[in-house]
Chains A and B, each alone.
Chain A
Amino acid sequence: MTPVGARKANGDELRVIGVPRRRVDARAKVTGQTRFADDIFLPRMAHSKLLRSPHPHARIRKIDTSRAAAHPGVYLVLQALCVDRVRHVGDPVAAVIAREELTAFEALDLIDVEYEILTTISSSEEALRTPEPRIHEYGEEGNIHKLVALEFGNVEEGFAEADEIFEDTFFFQGNTHLAIEQHAAVAIKDPDGKLTIWSSTQTPHYLHRALAKVLEMPAAHIRVIATPNGGGFGGKSDPFNHEIVVAKAALMLDRPVKICLTREEVFYCHRGRHPVLMKFKTGVKKDGAITGMHLQTLIDGGAYGSYGVASTFYAGALQTTTYHIPRYRYQGCRTFTNKPPCGPKRGHGTPQPRFGQEVQLDKIAERLKMDPADLRLRIAESSNALTANFFRLGTVNLAECIRRVVKVSGWKEKFRKFPEGRGVGLACSAYLTGAGLPIYWNKMPHSGVQLKFDRSGGVSIFCGATEIGQGSDDVLAGIVAEVLGIDTFDVRLFTGDTDLGPVDLGSYSSRVTLMAGNAALQAAERGRAILRDAVAEKLEVPKERLRFAERRVFDSAAPEKGVTFQEAVCLAEARFGTIGTVGSYTPPLYKGGGVGPLRPIPIPPPLLKWK
């Protein structure tokens, strides 16, 4: 958090950002008025339940839905959710839409499915050993989904220079998000025949695209509204089959259709942290300096891809961002297995190898007879460094962070001083702020903001950003209020709605404050410039002297000379017409200065020979 009294570039004190205050959405949350997806109740609303596979891997020989369809209270049965094959326990096979949720649930028992059981692949090692049957037709080969092989610098040379080589194998068993809100969605056919869906999704834009593709409808005729998420943590960032089911059913039935997953079903949706088996080979000098590192990962992806290609890259990308590693080689392999699919979960692929790296560093410290904190201090990467894999670090300041933690925690007094079974440890981690590339290749902005300036003195913010508890609404309101010198209470937010706001790619990768925030900043600054021109003309004051604060626009040389913010909007509107501005953010590509764009040197990608 910015300290109170921090200043803007022009020397003005920050009045909103960094000043403790109530979040814009806090009142709704403490009164229970925040409307989550399952809080939506509409007239004539039907309820949906999914029939899920009891088998980890099976061919669907036959489905008979006639008994379910004839059950009193059932409106519709949809089949072929999984086309001819189920790939994990919980993979959906059919959906029932009924007048009551319980009716839909009971009618699931009336669907007759004949399965032919297929070989179950339950671990990555098994997936490598069992190329057939393939869980998917796509991927590298057999049951390997994705291989990544990158080398930066000559790692073997690094090992030759080392005084000691450390080789260790670690396993991270995976985990799930467990957001307290279960996934829910409601869809309606709008009165004009278009589709609207409310869903607890972190990524309304990606859902929008998925629905257009699956329903074979123009995206312009689909409106996705991301309701505030009762926690996401990555678990609500994939477009889900239940969202497609309610959308399709609402269009077919011409009535609202809702689904709310049970807790058990949320575990089947999963998309949690991948189990990863990893091997670290690290060369070090006697003083602890790392001369080279080779990381191999074997990643258990579960039954579907999810964002697994990205996860496989992430699992190797950030090892170099904490400590100076001059030469680095990474080989990653994500397999398909017959388990609920893994995907993005806070830190997306990076915490697993981080765990391995940090444990290995402790072993290195032990062998070199160094204090683990001192070792990390000695090798900590510095701010603005360019890593071996071409990451330009920002204001990392890791060494200072370690020093302070050591001081405040009483590390020197505690380390190795506790009785058997208790201890203190120190580990570091780093993550990037926002992904440089969107999930689908394009050159458009990653986030956009529109502002509407009202004669009332109110400002409306329109943005696709999605509130999942992290405070994205408040970030937008805070930035706009700061720039315009108004209160966050004067701001209205229209967010997470694909019809109302410009695209924001979603709440993932810790990207919203950076990207939507910069888009909001640009839109607000453009609005301020328009207002300033109108006020400068009216007051006959040079516009450079005008300040925006406390709902006023005034002469900084003579603060009593000014107009209210509302009057400023009216002046601008009279002078220039209706006032609205836009802002957008596209991640920069690094160019020039001897720093090339991220250009990994590919090495031949032989299958990992995992023993």
Chain B
Amino acid sequence: MTTLPIESQKTSQIRFTLNGEETDVCFAPYKTLLEVLREDLGHTGTKHGCELGECGACAVLLDGKPVLSCLVLAVDCSGRQVLTVEGLGEDGNLHPLQDAFADLGAAQCGYCTPAILVTAKALLDQNPHPSRDQIREAISGNLCRCTGYLQIFEAVEAAVLKIAAQKSTVT
């Protein structure tokens, strides 16, 4: 019997929290978080554009902070919290960032969108009222070839207002 090539051997196993749910996954040990999310967990919302850490399309939140999942080994994610675009909405509703991106034309081809959404969420979690320059800086690692970024900045700003309005109704 032929021995399985190493890449076919799912010998690594981790338990981590994916979009709020405890998750177990087995995978080949060389795999990046990006590959495990997409190939072993079927979470294809996270994209890839270079797999070299240049384009930002694979950004996810690791313990609340944006990381490039193509540069993170999945074995390093044991016990940690991962948030992807699939986990942005709550109770069947879109996150205000998602609503704003959809309404204001900030998603055109939609390929860079998931990563920009989670990156923007990390910004708003830290700084609920960012300036245009702070938004610009926060997503400066995410390339978008369709929009020219203006609609993206406007959508983040619209989401800021909506989140603030939601909070004031709650309190």
Binding site for B on A (CB under 8 A): 20-23, 25-36, 38-39, 41, 72-73, 99-103, 106, 177-182, 228-233, 262-263, 468-471
What 8 pairs across the A-B complex have the smallest Cβ distances? A32-B45, A469-B109, A29-B110, A230-B111, A26-B102, A32-B85, A39-B44, A102-B7
Contact call B111/A36, Cβ cutoff below 8 A = yes
Measured between alpha carbons, how far is A262 from B48 in the docked complex, in Å?
10
Chain B contacts with A in 101-158, Cβ cutoff 8 A? 101-103, 105, 107-114, 117, 143-146
Q: Taking the complex as formed, is B171 at the interface, i.e. its CB lies under 8 A from any CB of chain A?
A: no
- Of the residues B2, B86, B112, B143, contact of A72 by C-beta under 8 Å: B2
Please state if A30 and B145 are interface contacts (CB–CB under 8 Å): no
A20 to B52, CA, bound (A): 38
Q: With contacts A29-B102, A30-B98, A41-B39 known, is A469 near B49, CB below 8 A?
A: no
Partner pick for A30 among B30, B117, B143, B144, CB 8 A cutoff: B117
* A-B CB contact pairs (8 Å), 24 listed: A21-B103, A26-B107, A30-B85, A30-B101, A31-B94, A32-B85, A33-B45, A41-B39, A73-B7, A99-B8, A100-B28, A102-B28, A106-B5, A177-B145, A179-B145, A180-B49, A180-B57, A180-B143, A180-B144, A181-B47, A181-B49, A181-B109, A231-B146, A469-B108
Is B103 touching A22 in the complex (CB atoms < 8 A)? yes
Asked if A469 and B146 make an inter-chain contact with CB atoms under 8 angstroms apart, the answer reads yes
A182:B48 contact, CB within 8 angstroms: yes
B169 close to A (CB within 8 Å): no
Q: Flag if A103 contacts B109 (CB, 8 Å).
A: no
Is B20 part of the contact surface with A, judged by Cβ < 8 Å? no
Within 8 Å by CB of B49, from A23, A32, A182, lies A182
A462 to B103 CA separation, bound complex (whole angstroms):
25
Determine the chain B residues whose CB is within 8 A of the CB of A29 once the complex forms. 101-102, 107, 109-110, 113
Residue of B nearest to A182 (CB): B49
Q: How far is the CB of B16 from chain A (nearest CB, A)?
A: 19
Per the CB 8 Å criterion, the residue count for chain B at the interface is 48
- Given A72-B3, A231-B109, A469-B110, are A263 and B146 also a contact pair (CB < 8 Å)? no
Which chain A residues lie closer than 8 Å to B50 at the CB level? 263
Chain B proximity of A393: nearest CB distance (Å): 27
Which of A41, A72, A177 lies in contact with B4, CB distance below 8 A?
A: A72
CB of B79 within 8 A of chain A? no
Q: How far in angstroms is the closest Cβ of chain B from A186?
A: 13
Task: Find B84's partner among A32, A38, A41, A73 (CB 8 Å cutoff).
Answer: A32
* A residues less than 8 Å from B84 (CB atoms): 32
Q: A41-B39, A72-B4, A180-B144 are in contact. Are A30 and B49 (CB under 8 A)?
A: no
Instruction: Give chain A nearest CB distance to B12 CB in angstroms.
Output: 14
| A-B contacts, CB under 8 A, total | 132
- Contacts A180-B57, A181-B49 known; 10 new A-B pairs at CB < 8 A: A29-B109, A31-B88, A32-B44, A38-B48, A39-B38, A177-B145, A178-B145, A180-B143, A181-B109, A468-B109
Cα of A470 to Cα of B108 in the assembled complex, Å: 7
The answer to whether B89 and A31 have CB atoms under 8 Å apart is yes
- The proximity string for B residues 37-60 relative to A, scoring 1 for CB distances below 8 Å and 0 otherwise, is 011001011111111101101000
Q: Which residues of B contact A72 (CB under 8 A)?
A: 2-5
When distances are taken between beta carbons in the complex, the residues of chain B under 8 Å from A30 are 85, 94, 98-99, 101-102, 107, 110, 113, 117
Residues of B contacting A20 with CB < 8 Å?
A: 103
Q: Which residues from chain A contact B8 at a C-beta distance below 8 Å?
A: 73, 99-100, 103
Chain B interface main SS type: loop
B102 touches A23 (CB 8 A): yes
Q: Which residues of B contact A21 (CB under 8 A)?
A: 103
Of all chain B residues, which has the CB nearest A21?
B103
A32 and B86 in contact, given A26-B102, A41-B39, A263-B51 (Cβ under 8 angstroms): yes
| Bound CA–CA A34/B47 (angstroms) | 11
How far apart are B116's CB and chain A's nearest CB, in angstroms?
10
B85 touches A181 (CB 8 A): no
* Residues in chain A near residue B38, CB distance under 8 A: 39
Partner of A103, one of B7, B30, B86, B108: B7
On whether the beta carbons of B112 and A180 are closer than 8 Å, the reply is: yes
The distance in angstroms between the C-alpha atoms of A310 and B75, with both chains bound, is: 51
B3 touching A230, Cβ below 8 Å: no
Q: Which residue of A lies closest to B102 (CB)?
A: A26
Which of B57, B105, B146 touches A23 (beta carbons < 8 Å)?
A: B105
Chain B residues with Cβ below 8 Å from A228 are 109-110
Q: Which residues of A contact B145 (CB under 8 A)?
A: 177-180, 231, 233
Residue of B nearest to A35 (CB): B44
Q: Complex: how many Å from CA A262 to CA B49?
A: 8
Closest chain B CB from A610 CB (angstroms): 34
| A230 touching B51, Cβ below 8 Å | no
In the complex where A32-B44, A233-B145, A263-B52 touch, is A27 in contact with B94 (Cβ < 8 A)? Answer: yes
The smallest beta-carbon distance between A509 and chain B, in angstroms, is 18
| Best-buried of A20, A21, A28, A469 by chain B (most CB within 10 Å) | A469
- List, in ascending order, chain A residues with CB within 8 A of B144's CB: 180
Complex interface: chain A residues within 8 A of B48 (CB): 38, 182
Let me know if B102 and A230 touch, CB within 8 A.
no
Closest to B155 in A: A30
A230 in contact with B47 (CB, 8 Å): yes
In contact, B5 and A103 (Cβ under 8 angstroms): yes
Contacts of B47 in A (CB 8 A): 36, 180-181, 230
Residue of A nearest to B112 (CB): A180
